[in-house]
Amino acid sequence: MSGTANSKKFVFSGRWTPQREESGRAFLSFKYWATSDLGIGVDYRPVSEQLSVAATYRLISEDPRGWRPAVILGTSVDDFTDGGDEVESRSYFATFSKALPQFKFWHVIPAPYVGAVWIDDLNELRPLAGLSLSHRNASVVLQYSGTDTHLTVTRPINDQLSVSAIYWGFRYPGVGMRWSF
């Protein structure tokens, strides 16, 4: 979710990382944006047949011309690593994010974020951080989820469909897609 308003009402996304454990191998998500700031939906893990509720709320939109960051709150069931074991847990997060001025010579817009995540099954509050580098032809996102670091390279096909290469936890390669309408 970016720090500015959303124009699509429905978002369907999927991820496949074949070398991961059962619950993390395949992941599908469907979200309905009731408003430009509130998204509610379901996540489904077909291999382990688990269904869960997810929600995202943009409490404050970023100011695209000023320095006010976006404040985003949410909950979902996510994958975390604890002592080498994969843990699937309900989590609650809050982030501050801000798109910075474009690097004119590369036409890249950097957008860092920081925040925190509460992981129910670990009973811990952990830091979150990431950096998105967006170009009109692709984006690269490096993120720390509270226990793992992930790398995602995304290529938009059109304004509704994008495909991604994922390196989950810097251990497992995968692919993803996102369709919004």
Render pLDDT for 81-117 as a digit per residue (tens, 0 to 9). Answer: 888 888 889 999 999 999 999 988 889 999 999 999 9
Sign of CA dihedral 84, 51, 161, 129: negative
Count the neighbouring beta carbons within 10 Å of the beta carbon of residue 134: 19
4 has a pLDDT exceeding 90? no
Statement: the pTM of the whole predicted model exceeds 0.85: yes
Residue linked to tokens 């454990």? 21
149 has a pLDDT exceeding 70? yes
Q: Are 93 and 117 within 8 A, CB to CB?
A: yes
Contacting residues for 9 by C-beta, under 8 A, at least 6 apart: 32, 33, 181
80 has a pLDDT exceeding 60? yes
Size of the chain, expressed as the number of residues it contains: 181
Query: Tokens at residue 125, please?
Result: 């509050």
5 has a pLDDT exceeding 70? no
What kind of architecture, by CATH, is found in domain 10-174?
Answer: Beta Barrel (2.40)
Domain residue ranges of the chain, discontinuous segments joined by +: 10-174
pLDDT for residue 1: 52
